[in-house]
Amino acid sequence: MRIRLMITLMLMVFLFDGCTAPTSPSGNEEYDHLIVVGFSQVGAESDWRNANTRSMQQALSAENGFRLIIDDAQQKKERQITAIRNFIHQGVDYIVLAPTTEDGWDTVLAEAKAANIPVIIIDRMIDSSLATGDAGADLFTCWIGSDFQRQGNAAVQWLEHQFKDQPLNIVHLQGNYGSSAQVGRSASLDRGLERNPQWTLAARDSGDFTQAKGQELVETYLAQGIDFNVIFAENDNMAYGAIDALKNAGLMPGKDVIIVSFDANRRALEMVMSGEISYDVECNPLHGPRVQAVIEQLERGETPPRFTFVEESVFDSANLTQTLINDRGY
C-alpha cells in the first residue's frame, strides 16, 4: 500500500513537472527574444520632440526586434536620473538618453557603466569633459545629434547677409538654459552681436522651447514698449507663439518683424512659404533608425562611430518648394 502511494506521488511530481511552463526571464515570454531599450526622453515640449519620440517608437518596434520603454522627464534632469536608475534596476539591454542639459551626468552614467549597460546619447550633448576628456570618456558608447553652433551660425550669417549694415533690434527667445541646443545657438548670436555693432539685443529670455512661453515673452516685451524688428527664436514652437503675439498686437510677422527660427518642422516650413518666418534652420529629429543601426552594430560586435553629426539644411523663400514641404516627415 505504502509502495503504491509512493509510486503515485512520484508519478504526480513527474507529470506536474512536465507540465510546468518554461521559466521566462521577464515573466512574459512574448518579450524574451526582444532587445530591451530604456529611453529617457526630455519631454514633449515641442513638435520636434514629438517627432523624435515617434521616430524612436517606429524604429525600435517589436517588429524590428525591440522592446522600447520610454520615460518622459517633462524637461527635468532629476527625473531623467531617476529614469536611468530604474532602467539599470530593470536590467535593460541598452539605455538611450536625450539629455535636458549638458551637466550632471557623471554619477548616473558611471552606474550604468558599472551595470554593463551601453548608453547611447542622442540629440543634445552632455558635458564636454565627459565627451572628450580622458576621465569619463567611456561613460557613453556613442552620440548622435546636431551641431547646434553650426545651426546658430547659419542663422546669424543669413541676418548679416540679408541686412548688411542695417541696424537690427533683436529679441532673443532662448531654449531651456544649459541644453546644448540653447548653448550652441545662443553662442552664435552672441558672436554675431559682437561682430555687428549696429545690432542691439532688445530683450532675451528663456521660453523653454515651448509655444506658450514664446508667446508670453513676446507679449511682455510688446507691453513693455520694447522696440524690436527681429526675433531670433531658438525653435519653431517659440516662433509660433511669437507670431501669435505679434498678430494679436496688429503687427505683421515677416514684414514688421523678421523671424528666424530653428527645427524646420512642416508647419514652420509652411510659414516660411507664406513669409511669416523668414529663415528656418533644420534640426533633424529622426534619430530612431540611427539608434536602431547603432544597436544592431553593437549586437554584431562591431564598433559604431563614437560621434555622429546629422546632415541638416536651411530654408528660406529662395529654396523652399511645396514638394519639399509635402515630403516633410515631421
Contact 325, 266 (CB under 8 A): yes
Q: Which is nearer to ligand AHR, 276 or 280 (CB)?
A: 280
Of the candidates 235, 261, 278, 292, which one interacts with ligand AHR according to CB under 6 A? Answer: 235
124 sits near ligand AHR (criterion: CB under 6 A): yes
The answer to whether the CB of 188 falls within 8 A of the CB of 290 is no
- Quick one: 124 or 172, whose CB is closer to ligand AHR? 124
245 and 218 Cβ atoms separated by less than 8 Å: yes
- Find the part of the chain contacting ligand AHR (CB under 6 A) among 9-17, 22-30, 44-52, 216-224: 44-52
Residue 279 in grid coordinates:
529663415
CB closer to ligand AHR out of 192 and 214: 214
Q: Which residues contact 179 (CB under 8 A, 6 or more apart)?
A: 99, 100, 101, 102, 124
Q: Which value, in Å, is the radius of gyration of the alpha carbons in the chain?
A: 25
**Cα–Cα nearest to 143, from 309, 321, 307:** 307
Q: Which window, 41-49, 61-69, 251-259, 304-312, contacts ligand AHR (CB under 6 A)?
A: 41-49
- Of the ranges 43-51, 66-74, 241-249, 293-301, which one interacts with ligand AHR (CB under 6 A)? 43-51
Q: Work out how close the CB of 318 gets to ligand AHR at its nearest, in angstroms, rounded to a whole number.
A: 23
Q: Does 48 engage in binding with ligand AHR (CB under 6 A)?
A: yes
Q: Are 128 and 101 in contact (CB under 8 A)?
A: no
Rounded Cα distance, 170 and 186, in Å: 12
Nearer to ligand AHR, 56 or 283 (CB): 283
Residues 237-266 that bind ligand AHR (CB under 6 A): 262-263
Residue 125 DSSP code:
P
Contacting positions for ligand AHR (CB under 6 A):
45-46, 48-49, 123-124, 181, 209, 235, 262-263, 283
